[in-house]
Homo-oligomer: A and B are copies of this chain.
């Protein structure tokens, strides 16, 4: 994997950056939003449709695929790219987040975790080495180490121990990696919402000299200014020449504020999940298309949008599909929301290249009728 940092507005360690990441399955431009294909499918879209909405890299979840159909079944069917018919870059997470969040966690030890499957209750042991084995079988271009994603708020003493454990697990992952020539292993900076622990974690992870770094355990319920602060105290400590990935973040405002603070990659189920629930992301904020006010509305979701949904259908039709519980409603909104985010990321890249990111950022907030968060440091 190779990262080309092409433009930076101001300090390339802390400010907006534009570049590209090259993998064995082609490259993707950064800053990038990665749609989530939990079970080896971005819900409701074909790979063809996913390409048409501007996705260049997607994420899949190791936890789900390990349990069903099983990583060895995926490997036997040619690996994740061939399995799901997507020949562009893929990132897989380690499974750790789901183990800690889906409620089946039994025990955490130095060795690893024990959890029960959310599907059938079966008991599983997972370790850093196992996470590497599973992700090697899946065959994504970028893989993640097993880590503990801390909740918010969390006791400081627990956070210290957990952050250090995450660091030791990352080192074991780096040692155990099975396909280092084909797969890039990122580090995950944890540390809760404690600035000094974030710094400690960043120091531990960067010591491993990994090809990219993620920020985990953010956007977990903390106030946004605190999230912004954590980005600011961490970004400056990460090597300039490696991509930075803010995990689990995908609201338009956080994408803009994340890019403003030096983030290159993002992923989140928000655009696809809200789409299935009937909500469209638009420059002014959100449209809840189930509302009765849209029943006879002839306009597209967003007037200046070039996505398939906006080029062909009215809000009235989409509202009808949602009320009638027709799959196509969620599918069209998924296309729109992903297209909207891909367009937002492309606009940010362009603004960074043209040296006008801050103007773009102010306009973004104006269109939402809100004030931009405090001036950046």
B-facing mask of A24-50, CB < 8 A → 1, else 0?
Answer: 000000000000000111011111100
A334 to B358, CA, bound (A): 47
**B68, B324, B332: the one within 8 Å of A68 (CB):** B324
Q: Is A308 an interface residue (CB 8 A)?
A: yes
Q: Is A85 an interface residue (CB 8 A)?
A: yes
What interface size band does chain A fall in? 35 or more
B47 touches A326 (CB 8 A): no
325-359 of chain A: CB within 8 A of chain B: 326-328, 330-332
The residue of chain B having its C-beta at the shortest distance from the C-beta of A334 within the complex is B327
B41 touches A326 (CB 8 A): yes
Output the least CB separation between A194 and chain B (Å): 38
Contact A73 to B296, CB < 8 A, known contacts A41-B321, A320-B68: yes
Of A75-83, A166-174, A179-187, the one with at least 4 CB within 8 A of chain B: A75-83
A43 touches B327 (CB 8 A): yes
> In the complex, what residues of B have CB within 8 A of residue A296's CB?
73, 76-77
A328 touches B76 (CB 8 A): no
Q: Is A84 an interface residue (CB 8 A)?
A: yes
**B47, B77, B313: the one within 8 Å of A298 (CB):** B77
266-307 of chain A: CB within 8 A of chain B: 295-296, 298
Q: Is A224 an interface residue (CB 8 A)?
A: no
Copy number in the complex reads 2
**B73, B313, B328: the one within 8 Å of A43 (CB):** B328
Output the least CB separation between A184 and chain B (Å): 25
Output the least CB separation between A10 and chain B (Å): 43
Contact A73 to B41, CB < 8 A, known contacts A298-B78, A328-B46: no
A105 to B104, CA, bound (A): 49
The residue of chain B having its C-beta at the shortest distance from the C-beta of A49 within the complex is B46
B320 touches A40 (CB 8 A): yes
> In the complex, what residues of B have CB within 8 A of residue A43's CB?
326-328
> In the complex, what residues of B have CB within 8 A of residue A321's CB?
39, 41
B45 touches A328 (CB 8 A): yes
A sample of 28 cross-chain residue pairs with beta-carbon separation below 8 angstroms, ordered by A number, consists of A40-B317, A41-B321, A41-B328, A43-B328, A44-B327, A47-B312, A48-B308, A64-B324, A68-B320, A68-B323, A68-B324, A69-B295, A69-B319, A69-B323, A73-B295, A76-B316, A77-B296, A77-B316, A77-B317, A78-B298, A78-B314, A83-B314, A83-B316, A83-B320, A85-B313, A327-B327, A327-B330, A327-B331
Q: A40-B320, A73-B295 provided; 15 other pairs, C-beta below 8 A? A: A39-B321, A39-B324, A40-B317, A41-B326, A43-B327, A43-B328, A46-B331, A68-B323, A69-B295, A69-B320, A69-B323, A73-B320, A78-B298, A85-B317, A327-B330
Pairs A-B, 7 closest by C-beta atoms: A85-B312, A69-B320, A39-B324, A44-B327, A41-B328, A77-B316, A41-B326
